[in-house]
A and B are shown apart, each in its own frame.
Chain A
Amino acid sequence: MSSTPTPDAPTPDALKTELITAIGSAGDLAALEEVRVAALGKKGRVTTLMKALGQLDPETRKARGAELNQVKDEVAAALEARRGVLQDQALAARLAAEQIDITLPPRPETTGRLHPISQTIDELTAIFAEMGYVVAEGPDIEGDFYNFTALNMPPEHPARQMHDTFYLPDAPDGSQRVLRTHTSPVQVRTMLSQAPPIRIIAPGRTYRSDYDMTHTPMFHQVEGLVVDETTHMGHLKGCLIELCRAFFDVDDLPVRFRPSFFPFTEPSAEVDIGCKRGGGELKLGNYGDWLEILGCGMVHPKVLEMCGVDPTRYQGFAFGMGIERIAMLKYGIPDLRTFFEADLRWLRHYGFVPLDMPSMAQGLTW
């Protein structure tokens, strides 16, 4: 081995230039690795030159060593930089190859809906809960006593005929069984089972033998009953005005109380809300026209008495309204009969997403 570079051996500077050029032209990571091995590997050219340093005299070795170290560092840095570039290029190429058609539809998820009747009941419950009412329930198959007699409709009372009652075979004790024609029997059951003060609402299924454009043999009502020592008609008005405005989400909705007649209340009233009609549409608000939406009144003393509540001490009010009717008004549902057809297009259109839980804290309606 010669102690000096052979004439054809490049100078460190030239070697550096050559290697850096080779690095720059390495097209991929594999080629770059070949360049690295050829330069800095165990038998690489830089390594070989460095191994040969030991044979030089100290003075030359020192200068030559420093020179070669600098070559080695610069080549290593160039390798690293080139590796970064090539890695970025490789990643970009991979990502380009991995492209998908993002316009494709995602995997289908079926979205369920709550029926408008359930949503409406939940809305009413939220409002009345705020006024201190609790929810009471009763059976659909009722005794004649609960559905009529205790509500001041004795057997021959003409109002019974107006109810289009569905009858079932008599009970074993001979009493008449009916499908409840209204939710009012829950009033009776509540008063018979608990002492005043009472504040309940009773939503549920009701039945009348009638089937046409605006009647279905089954429908839903919500009943309300308040019994204590001081509740009067002013409270009845306050309660129902606040209900109507909150439910229909119209702050200045006019609410009118009109004297009427029900056997189980005295005085009795029907309640109208403001609206306008025209062009086959109905809009709620202060427009001068009226639409009847519910019946109410002060509980008849005879009803209190028949339900075991002392009418000389207690008084209160009751009301009842059709759930489908107010749902139709609020949500613009045109046809009552469609509520019970279970047409999935209707349920998807008029139904409610399950997380849309009405509350007074979060609001009743989007």
Chain B
Amino acid sequence: MKFTLSWLRDHLETTATLDEIATTLTSLGLEVEEVTDPAKDLGAFTVARVSSAEPHPNADKLRVCRVETVQGEVQVVCGAPNARTGMTGVFAPAGSHIPGTGIDLKPTKIRGVASNGMLVSEREMGLSDEHSGIIELSDEFAVGTPFATAVGLDDPVIEIALTPDRADCAGVRGIARDLAAAGLGSLKPLDTTPVEAAIPDAVAIRILDDAKEACPMFAGRLIRGVRNGPSPRWMQDRLRAIGLRPISALVDITNYVTMDLARPLHVFDADAVAGGIHVRLSRPGETLDALNGKSYTLDGEMTAVCDDRGVLGLGGIVGGVGSGCTEATRDVVIECALFDPIRTATTGRKLAIDSDARYRFERGVDPAAVRDYVEVATRWVQSLCGGEAGPVVVAGGEPAWQRSLTLRPTRVRDLGGVDVPAAEQRRILGTLGFGLSEQPDGSLAAAVPSWRGDVAGEADLVEEVLRVHGFDNIPAVSMPRLGALTRPALSPSQRRVAFARRLLADRGLLEAVTWSFLAPEVAARFGHADPELVLVNPISAELTVMRPSVLPNLIQAAGRNADRGFPDVGLYEVGPAYRDGTAEGQDRIAAGVRAGAARPRHWSGEPRPVDAFDAKADALALLAALGAPTGNLQVTRDAPDWYHPGRSGVLRLGPTVLARFGEIHPGVRERLEIKTPLVGFEVMLDQVPMPKRTGGTARPTLALSAFQPIQRDFAFVVDRSVEADRVVRAAKGADKTMIDAVTVFDVYEGTGVPEGSKSVALGVTLQPTERTLTEADIEAVAQKIVAAVSKATGATLRAG
């Protein structure tokens, strides 16, 4: 919403400065976005008259002008073709800053002739690109008149960001009323006294039954014998200043009243209206050629203002070309109506029309002022265009808008945190237009003014008092503490998520945050099947389906980094994956990828590409850190098909899948155009059991043996299909009290091992607890290990 300072002063009697007004507007909740004061840049420039323009003695294209200025007569050398004796122009004195060129003017000599200042073009004034000659003004301006005044640029423009609740401040008068309440002056009266009908002629107006909600009230008035021409200069200046193009007096009046009183009007050329005017809902397929130059096809839900031939305009949104006013218009019908906010908004959205009328109707215009504003409009038309008015015709009627609210005397203090004296509360509300009466219990009954449809409860009254009193005047108070110590802000499960993030970063991965949605074909490759997860209105084809897994975005991100020349990258993300559209169908996942080299080229050793065990290590480290019983995990081969079927695994506790890891399927890599080796993991954070705290915070007792552990190595030959884990488990199970740890330190196939078999070398740590072991004791355990492994896997001890 834009307006000018002089326009505001039409409604507000004030001595406040522009700065005071701007500051107060913002503190009232009418946030000032910009104040432009063109006169500031143009202050040095004044009207001047060229008393003589003689040819320059040393240059054909230059003239030496004697110029009457506010400083007296000055000599100026000028190159403009239109510089001539007797013309009225704009003088820039030496020392002034030329806004269009950024030059600071100095007294100078041009081809040997002194020049003290210049006569300027529009481009030099920063007003346009016009530079074919200097500005010529009408002779009516006296020498010395400020240039800004001469061109109507002496009126500062204020732009505020209007919140959607403040329909009343979509007009200058509403803004003036708020400023008056804030103590910046007083609201001037508005003349709404009825204009007596001079002629009996009237237009018939009806609201059809289907439109009674869409248009509860429609007032019209015929005015005959108007002369439509340009509107007066001041009105054009104001409209231009706020970005509207003056068209003709009749059109300018409707725009002016829209901005002045937040009251959109329409003026029909009465000769273009066939028969009477009626309002109904539009019919599917009807069309309207609108005043904005576009043609619209209507559906069956829009508010159509019609004559006997068809649709004249869309109520509250835009008028039609056919009944618009032109220079030739002689008789007019003024329309002042109420249109339903929701239907207006819906229609405007459907047709993508953002008009000043729609802006106001969808926020709600003053329902009690229809008749008053017909009178205001009549006065404008008659004063600018003449004509004789007929009687005001009204169809429908004023809807019930009256309501009274109660404000308890302590409520401002209790909700707002500041004591505003009762008298001041009453003054504020009264100035804003509330009708007040004190109740026997001390509370205030406040009748809400018709233009404040947004005020609906006691809290709104508190807000009115507070915003006028000033939010700045509310003392800030620290939150009372709930105890000397605060509680933890995170629940144990939230803490684990935060911990997972830092753990994975600590393992050398970079945390990414990627979209929750992805392309349908990618989602399909990662197991998406649920139509519940497809956006109805995606912003692009790439961002359509809620992601079934966190991996694809990370894989693609690794690919983008490789394309930029960084193929070795480890990324992770802790975020949601979606199973279905319910609140419970969202899982917290920690996923990661590693691409390229696990060990890059380096003088210290051979490079190594990433492999499935890098991903397994990440998954296991995270599970261990989260307190999962990693010793009890099973590894199975049933990872989903975005993993390499032979190089991937699932870490599970019985039926519960805690994590998946492995090489990404070559088909996925190819599809997502990844050329580097690529592994990934997914840890289902919600599935990891919380560590038990049965013993309180105490750790289990630490039992340290006094006896040294003993290391024994075994090399077993097994069928190559036997998984190492089976060998390890069998060995571990051979003597649970004695065997402390089993590691695989070598896996070998080739010379010395029969075809189809492999050698698995185990390091077994024995931990005696009661006495130092004898060779016989150790041999006995070794026998048990060999027997157990052999029984479980068919292994033989490797000879030698």
Contacts and interface: CB of A to CB of B under 8 A. Distances in A.
A24 to B, nearest CB: 45
Contacts of B510: 112-113, 342, 344, 347-348, 351
B476 interface: yes
Contact of B417 (A113, A234, A344): A234
Contact of B511 (A132, A179, A238, A347): A347
Interface in B557-597: 557, 560-561, 564, 566, 569-571, 574-576, 578, 581-586
B503 A129 contact: no
A278 interface: no
A234 B418 contact: yes
Interface in B1-35: 26-29, 31
Contact of A344 (B467, B540, B566): B566
Contacts of A218: 515-517
Contact of A267 (B27, B416, B534): B416
User: What secondary structure prevails in chain A residues at the interface with B?
Assistant: mixed
* Most B-side CB within 10 Å, residue of A104, A111, A138, A169: A169
Interface stretch (A11-19, A42-50, A255-263): A255-263
A162 B26 CA distance: 22
Nearest to B416: A233
A118 B512 CA distance: 10
Contacts of A269: 471
A236 B508 CA distance: 41
B561 A342 contact: yes
A80 to B, nearest CB: 38
Given A129-B488, A140-B576, A238-B479, A115 B494 contact: no
Contacts of A366: none
Contacts of B503: 354
A269 to B, nearest CB: 6
A168 B581 contact: yes
B474 A257 contact: yes
A305 to B, nearest CB: 11
Contact of B536 (A139, A169, A353): A169
A131 interface: yes
Given A132-B486, A161-B345, A267-B467, A113 B511 contact: yes
Nearest to B483: A132
A296 B26 CA distance: 16
Nearest to B578: A141
A159 to B, nearest CB: 6
B275 to A, nearest CB: 34
Nearest to A352: B505
Contacts of A142: 583
Residue in A110, A169, A239, A348 with the greatest tally of chain B CB atoms within 10 Å: A110
Contact of B516 (A156, A205, A266): A205
Contact of B27 (A122, A258, A266): A258
B197 to A, nearest CB: 38
B459 A158 contact: no
A343 B481 contact: no
A109 interface: yes
A158 B345 contact: yes
A268 to B, nearest CB: 7
Interface in A215-268: 217-218, 226, 230-239, 241-242, 256-261, 266-268
Contacts of B603: 104-105
Nearest to B583: A139
A93 interface: no
A300 interface: yes
Contact of A259 (B463, B543, B574, B605): B463
Contacts of B505: 112-114, 351, 353-354
Contacts of A118: 501, 511, 513, 574
A166 B535 contact: yes
A340 B566 contact: no
A258 B570 CA distance: 45
Contact of A169 (B346, B506, B532): B532
A111 B487 CA distance: 33
Interface in B310-344: 341-342
Contacts of A113: 505, 510-511
Interface string B463-489: 100110001101111111110001111
A100 B415 CA distance: 74
Contacts of B42: none
Nearest to A107: B604
B295 interface: no
Given A107-B605, A131-B486, A218-B516, 20 more contacts: A105-B602, A112-B506, A125-B489, A130-B486, A134-B489, A142-B583, A167-B535, A169-B531, A211-B540, A218-B517, A237-B475, A257-B472, A258-B29, A259-B466, A259-B467, A261-B164, A298-B459, A301-B458, A315-B415, A342-B553
Which 8 pairs from chain A and chain B are nearest by CB?
A234-B417, A259-B29, A110-B508, A261-B163, A267-B463, A342-B557, A129-B489, A112-B505
Interface of A: 104-105, 107-115, 117-118, 122, 125-126, 128-135, 137-143, 156, 158-159, 161-162, 166-169, 171, 177, 179, 199, 201, 205, 207, 209-211, 217-218, 226, 230-239, 241-242, 256-261, 266-270, 298, 300-302, 315, 339-345, 347-348, 351, 353-355, 357
